[in-house]
Amino acid sequence: MNAANPRAQFEQDGFFIAPAVIPADLIARVRSRIDAVYAGEYETGIPPCGNPKGAKEPPTALVKIDNAHRSDRTIYELVTHPALGKLAAAITGAKFVQAFAVQMLIKPPGGSDTGSVGWHQDQEYWDPCLEGELFTAWVAISDVTAESGPMRFVPGSQNWGLLKAGDFFSANLDALKQRIQQKSGGQAWREVAAVLPPGGVSFHHRLTVHGSGPNLAALPRVSFAIHLRTEKSRLREGVRWQDAGYLNDFNDPVGSPVCYRE
């Protein structure tokens, strides 16, 4: 990886991996708040989307809870950490970076396929509502090892166009890979695993193909996907925010906090 020029690396590969970004003390505080939100404790009184309704047992399948930053001040602190916004701006050359959706992810141990995330492009899910410069910061809360089912990127796939051939919720990664390769016209396929320590971050382009396999480690793999936009993006003409699902109104300072402004 080209740590000296993250923007060049991001433009070339469609992703950038930064091993140390968020301070350890904040990661430790966020970890305890993840357990609280999962158990149904909402510090602000605002429930997240995908409300777990006070789950008490450890998860046996992938947990995806949207917009927990609206429910918890410590998670909001993570989403708006200055180091995250500054690096996001350096990678994209943006003058303005704003979060518009956040996903809290818990991948259970045990090796079950129910913890897998199918190959996909994020724009597949945003395309009906958003256009322009969109990307994701994926923050490791736990130690993300090769065994724990790390995110895997396909370098250069951001140049393949919007394929609409992926499926986040499918555990059949091999079948998805074949479908995506066919749709891409037989582009070469190579995978890079985002192995990260707690506080490490990977950034990926809205068209970069990515997914992850089961967690074969002994502990849960815990992370946040923070979806970001720059000044070169907008809500599609004719779309109303109330029809945008888990995506937060850009004018909502809590749901869509500004992470960086030049």
- pLDDT, tens digit, for every residue of 45-69? 999 987 666 677 788 889 999 999 9
Beta bridge partners of 105: 64, 223
Q: Which of 88, 208, 93 is nearest to 156 (CA)?
A: 208
The pTM score is 0.96
CATH assignment of the domain containing 24: 2.60.120.620
Count of helices and strands (H, E) across the chain: 6, 11
Collapsed DSSP state (helix, strand, coil) of residue 29: helix
Which three-class secondary structure state does DSSP give residue 255? coil
Give the pLDDT confidence of 80-90 residue by residue, as tens digits: 999 999 999 99
Q: Identify whether 43 is part of a domain.
A: yes
Contacts of 247 (CB under 8 A, 6+ apart): 100, 101, 126, 129, 130, 241
pLDDT in tens, the chain (262 residues): 556 689 999 999 999 999 989 999 999 999 999 999 999 999 999 999 876 666 777 888 899 999 999 999 999 999 999 999 999 999 999 999 999 999 999 999 998 898 999 999 999 999 999 999 999 999 999 999 999 999 999 999 999 999 999 999 999 999 999 999 999 999 999 999 999 999 999 999 999 999 999 999 999 999 999 999 999 999 999 999 999 999 999 999 999 999 999 9
For residue 46, being part of any structural domain is answered with yes
Task: Decide if 65 is inside a domain.
Answer: yes
Residue 3 within any structural domain of the chain = no
Closest CA to 214 of 260, 138, 152, 157: 152
Q: Torsion over CA of 80, 245, 204 and 4, rounded to 10 degrees?
A: -20
Is 253 within the bounds of a domain? yes
Residue 247 lies in a domain: yes
221 assigned to some structural domain: no
Instruction: Answer yes or no: is 37 within a domain.
Output: yes
Cβ-proximal residues to 18 (8 Å cutoff; 6+ apart), any chain: 3, 6, 87, 200, 201, 202, 203
Q: What is the DSSP string of 121-135?
A: -THHHHTTTEEEEEE
Cα 4 versus chain centre, distance: 23
Domain containing 28 equals 11-77+88-215+229-261
Name the domain count of the chain.
1
The residue written with tokens 């066919």 in the block is 182
Which runs of consecutive H residues, i.e. helices, occur in 139-204?
Answer: 173-183
